[in-house]
C-alpha cells in the first residue's frame, strides 16, 4: 500500500487530481510541488476561494483535505525524497523552437523532472506519467532514470488524465474510465496494481483499465483527437448550414439521437480552444509524420485547419456585417475563457477573434466573470501581432456586462457562461448603438427573444 505521493506540477491537472486523491484516500500523504512560488502561495491561501484554479466544487475539496493529508510546497527535492510514488504533471506545450517547432511536444520540463527524480531518489520509486505525452516517452524517462540515478529501481507507469476543465471535480469523482499503462514484467505489474488500489478507493473496478504503456500514452492523444474532430466536423457543417438554410442545432440533434453517433460534443461554436486539443493533435500529426505516415498526418491536421478557419470566419463575418469596417467601433466581448466554468484562457477562440478585430482597428470591450485584465493583455501580447502598447490601447476590460455593452456597435459572445443567458437584454439593447448586432459564437441565446427586442442576431450555423 502506497502511503506517500508527490506530484510535480500544481497546475490545472496536478492540483485538482491530487486534491481528489487526498480527499478519497485520507491515509495517503499527498504533496503537490511546483517551481512557481506564486502558484503554491495561492494554493496555500487561507481563503480557499483564492486558490489559483477556478473549478466548481474544487475549493470545497481543498478545504477538506488541505493540511490533513494534502500539502502544497515549493520544496521539490524533499517531496520526491519522501514519496513512494511520484506523479509528473508538468506542462508539455508545443515546441516553439528547433526541430518540430510548432508541432512536436516540448518535453524539456518532463526531462528536467526525470533528472531531478533520478538525482534525489535514494529508495525505489514508481514514476507516473500524468502529463499528456507522445507515445514512447516512457522509454526516454526510463533511460534517464536508469542512467543517472543512484542505483535505485524505478517503474514507469502511464496514467493519462481525461478530466475536462470546468467539470474537473465531477470528472475526477466519477470518471468514465481510469487508464493505467505499465510494463508487463512482474515488477511492472506490481506497480500497476499499487496505482489501481489507489483509484479503487472510489472508482468502480470495471472502470479501471490496464494496458501496456504505449497503448496508454497513445490513447490519450487519440481521445483528444477524436473529441476535437467531432467539434471540427460539426463546425464544418455549420458553414454549410448557413449557406443552405439548414440549422446546425437541428442537424446536431437529429444525428446525435443515433446511438452510434451520440449527442455529446456536437455543439457548433466559434472554434475549440483550451490548452490541449490543438497541441495534442499537432503532436499526433508530428508523430505520424516522423514515421513517414503522411496520409495519417494530413487526416488529423485537417481538424486543426478547420478550427482555425472557424475562428477566422467568425471575425470576418463581424467585419462584413458591420458594413465592412470596424475601425473605431466598439465591439463588446462577453467571455474570454475557452469555455464556461474555468478561468483558463489558453488557446481561447476569443484571443484570435480579438486579434483579427484589433488588426481592423476595432475597440474591444471585454467582460469575463473569471478572467482579469492582466491575463487578457498577456494573451494578446503573446501572439506578438502588434506592440503591447497597441494591444493595451485597443482593449478595455470591464467588471460588469452592462458597462461593457454600453454604446457598442455589436456584441460577440465568446464563452457560454450561464449568467449571459439571464442578462437584462432589453436594458443592454436600449444602451447600444443601432442597429444593435449580436454575434453569438456559442449559440447560447434565444434568437426569437433577441429579435423581438430589436437585435440583429446571428448564430453559428443557422
Ligand atoms: P499547467 O501549466 O497548468 O501546470 C503545469 C505546472 O508544472 C506549472 O505550474 C509549472 O510551473 C509546473 N512545472 C513545470 N516544470 C516543473 C518542474 N521541473 N518542477 C516543478 N514544477 C514544474 O499545465 P496543466 O494544464 O496542468 O497540464 C499538465 C499536463 O496535463 C499537460 O501535459 C497537459 O497536456 C495534461 N492535461 C491537461 C488537462 C487540462 O485540462 N488542463 C487535462 C488532461 C491532461
Ligand atoms: C479536453 C477533453 O475533453 C478532456 O477529456 C481532456 O482531458 C482535456 O481536453 C485535456 O487533455 O486537456 P478541455 O479542453 O478542458 O478538455 O475542455 P472540453 O470540454 O473538451 O472543450 C474543449 C473546447 O471545445 C472548448 O473550447 C469547448 O468550448 C469546445 N467545444 C466542446 C465545442 O466547441 N463544442 C462542443 O460540442 C464541445
From the CB of 120, is ligand 1 less than 6 Å away? no
Q: Which of 132, 134, 273, 274 to mutate to test the pocket of ligand 2 (most atoms within 8 A of CB)?
A: 274
CA of residue 459 to ligand 1 center, whole Å: 34
Residue 355 has a CB neighbour count (10 Å cut-off) of 19
What number does the ligand 2 atom closest to the CA of 442 have? 33
Q: How confident is the model at residue 166 (pLDDT cuts 50, 70, 90)?
A: very high
Residue 325 has a CB neighbour count (10 Å cut-off) of 12
Ligand number nearest CA of 277 is: 2
From the CB of 414, is ligand 2 less than 6 Å away? no
Quote the pLDDT of residue 420.
98
How does pLDDT run across 201-260, given as a tens digit for each residue? 999 999 999 999 999 999 999 999 999 999 999 999 999 999 999 999 999 999 999 999
CA of residue 330 to ligand 2 center, whole Å: 30
Q: How confident is the model at residue 381 (pLDDT cuts 50, 70, 90)?
A: very high
Q: Cell 485547419 identifies what position?
A: 305
Residues 6+ away with beta carbon under 8 Å from 291 = none
Quote the pLDDT of residue 215.
97
Quote the pLDDT of residue 101.
96
State the cell numbers at 429: 439593447
From the CB of 366, is ligand 1 less than 6 Å away? no
421 is catalytic: no
φ, ψ (nearest 5 deg) of residue 139: -70, -35
CA of residue 348 to ligand 2 center, whole Å: 11
The residues with which 334 forms a beta bridge, in sequence order, are 367, 413
CA of residue 263 to ligand 2 center, whole Å: 15
Q: How confident is the model at residue 192 (pLDDT cuts 50, 70, 90)?
A: very high
Ligand number nearest CA of 165 is: 2
Quote the pLDDT of residue 382.
97
- Minimal-distance CA residue to ligand 1 atom 2: 91
Query: Are residues 363 and 329 in contact, defined by beta-carbon separation less than 8 angstroms?
Result: yes
Quote the pLDDT of residue 222.
98
Q: Provide the whole-model pTM.
A: 0.97
From the CB of 224, is ligand 2 less than 6 Å away? yes
Considering the candidates 7, 241, 276, 405, report the single residue annotated as catalytic.
276
Q: How confident is the model at residue 61 (pLDDT cuts 50, 70, 90)?
A: very high
Quote the pLDDT of residue 183.
96
> What is the rounded CA–CA span in Å between residue 409 and residue 286?
43
For 274: left if phi > 0, alpha if psi spans -120 to 50, otherwise beta; the answer is left
From the CB of 338, is ligand 2 less than 6 Å away? yes
Considering the candidates 24, 194, 220, 340, report the single residue annotated as catalytic.
220
Q: What is the mean pLDDT of residues 95-107?
A: 95
CA of residue 93 to ligand 1 center, whole Å: 9
How does pLDDT run across 424-436, given as a tens digit for each residue? 999 999 999 999 9
How does pLDDT run across 110-126, given as a tens digit for each residue? 999 999 999 999 999 99
What number does the ligand 1 atom closest to the CA of 112 have? 18
Ligand number nearest CA of 162 is: 2
> What is the rounded CA–CA span in Å between residue 29 and residue 83?
9
CA of residue 90 to ligand 1 center, whole Å: 4
Quote the pLDDT of residue 403.
98
φ, ψ (nearest 5 deg) of residue 211: -145, 180
Considering the candidates 55, 129, 161, 416, report the single residue annotated as catalytic.
161
Q: What is the mean pLDDT of residues 5-19?
A: 98
Quote the pLDDT of residue 145.
95
Radius of gyration over every alpha carbon of the chain, rounded to an integer in angstroms? 23
Quote the pLDDT of residue 99.
95
Quote the pLDDT of residue 268.
98
How does pLDDT run across 266-306, given as a tens digit for each residue? 999 999 999 999 999 999 999 999 999 999 999 999 999 99
CA atoms within 13 A on the CB side of 23: 18
- Minimal-distance CA residue to ligand 1 atom 14: 90
Quote the pLDDT of residue 159.
98
161 is catalytic: yes
> What is the rounded CA–CA span in Å between residue 109 and residue 133?
11
447 is catalytic: no
Ligand number nearest CA of 444 is: 2
DSSP 330: E
From the CB of 6, is ligand 1 less than 6 Å away? no
- Minimal-distance CA residue to ligand 2 atom 16: 164
State the cell numbers at 63: 478545504
How does pLDDT run across 301-334, given as a tens digit for each residue? 999 999 999 999 999 999 999 999 999 999 999 9
The residues with which 364 forms a beta bridge, in sequence order, are 331, 395
Q: What is the mean pLDDT of residues 177-190?
A: 98
From the CB of 113, is ligand 1 less than 6 Å away? yes
Q: How confident is the model at residue 177 (pLDDT cuts 50, 70, 90)?
A: very high
> What is the rounded CA–CA span in Å between residue 342 and residue 323?
34
Quote the pLDDT of residue 3.
98
Quote the pLDDT of residue 351.
98
CA of residue 415 to ligand 2 center, whole Å: 13
Question: Average pLDDT of the chain?
Answer: 97
Amino acid at each position: 500500500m502506497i502511503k506517500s505521493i508527490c506530484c510535480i506540477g500544481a497546475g490545472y491537472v496536478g492540483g485538482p487530481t491530487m486534491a481528489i486523491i487526498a480527499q478519497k484516500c485520507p491515509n495517503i500523504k499527498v504533496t503537490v510541488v511546483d517551481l512557481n512560488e506564486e502558484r503554491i502561495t495561492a494554493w496555500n491561501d487561507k481563503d480557499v476561494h483564492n486558490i489559483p484554479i477556478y473549478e466548481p466544487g474544487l475549493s470545497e475539496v481543498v478545504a477538506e483535505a488541505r493540511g490533513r493529508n494534502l500539502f502544497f510546497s515549493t520544496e521539490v527535492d524533499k517531496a520526491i525524497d519522501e514519496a513512494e510514488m511520484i506523479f509528473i504533471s508538468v506542462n508539455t506545450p508545443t515546441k516553439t523552437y528547433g526541430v518540430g517547432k510548432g508541432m512536436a511536444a516540448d518535453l524539456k520540463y518532463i526531462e528536467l523532472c526525470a533528472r531531478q527524480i533520478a538525482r534525489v531518489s535514494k529508495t525505489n520509486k514508481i514514476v507516473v506519467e500524468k502529463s499528456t505525452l507522445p507515445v514512447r516517452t516512457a522509454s526516454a524517462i526510463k533511460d534517464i532514470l536508469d542512467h543517472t540515478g543512484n542505483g535505485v529501481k524505478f517503474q514507469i507507469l502511464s496514467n493519462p488524465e481525461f478530466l475536462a476543465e470546468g467539470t474537473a471535480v465531477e470528472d475526477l469523482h466519477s470518471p468514465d474510465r481510469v487508464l493505467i499503462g505499465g510494463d508487463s514484467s512482474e515488477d511492472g505489474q506490481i506497480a500497476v496494481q499499487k496505482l489501481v488500489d489507489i483509484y479503487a478507493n472510489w472508482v468502480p473496478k470495471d472502470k479501471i483499465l490496464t494496458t501496456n504503456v504505449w497503448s496508454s500514452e497513445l490513447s490519450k492523444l487519440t481521445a483528444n483527437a477524436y473529441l476535437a474532430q467531432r467539434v471540427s466536423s460539426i463546425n464544418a457543417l455549420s458553414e454549410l448550414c448557413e449557406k443552405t438554410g439548414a440549422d446546425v442545432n437541428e442537424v446536431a440533434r437529429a444525428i446525435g439521437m443515433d446511438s452510434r453517433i451520440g449527442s455529446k460534443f456536437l455543439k457548433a461554436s466559434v472554434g475549440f480552444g483550451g490548452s490541449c486539443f490543438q497541441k495534442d493533435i499537432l503532436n499526433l500529426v508530428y508523430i505520424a509524420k516522423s514515421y513517414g505516415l503522411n496520409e495519417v498526418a494530413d487526416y488529423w491536421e485537417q481538424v486543426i485547419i478547420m478550427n482555425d478557419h472557424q475562428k477566422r470566419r467568425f471575425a470576418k463575418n463581424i467585419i462584413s456585417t458591420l458594413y465592412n469596417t470596424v475601425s473605431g467601433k466598439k465591439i463588446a466581448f462577453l467571455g474570454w475563457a475557452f469555455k464556461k466554468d474555468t478561468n483558463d484562457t489558453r488557446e481561447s477562440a476569443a484571443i484570435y477573434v480579438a486579434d483579427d478585430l484589433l488588426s481592423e482597428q476595432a475597440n474591444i470591450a471585454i467582460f469575463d466573470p473569471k478572467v482579469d485584465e492582466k491575463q487578457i493583455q498577456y494573451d494578446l501580447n503573446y501572439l506578438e501581432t502588434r506592440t503591447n502598447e497597441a494591444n493595451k490601447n485597443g482593449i478595455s476590460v470591464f467588471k460588469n456586462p452592462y458597462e461593457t455593452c454600453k454604446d457598442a456597435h455589436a456584441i460577440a459572445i465568446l464563452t457560454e457562461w450561464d449568467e449571459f443567458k439571464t442578462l437584462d437584454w432589453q436594458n443592454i439593447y436600449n444602451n447600444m448603438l443601432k442597429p444593435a448586432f449580436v454575434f453569438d459564437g456559442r449559440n447560447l441565446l434565444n434568437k426569437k427573444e433577441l429579435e423581438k427586442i430589436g437585435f440583429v442576431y446571428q448564430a453559428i450555423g443557422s
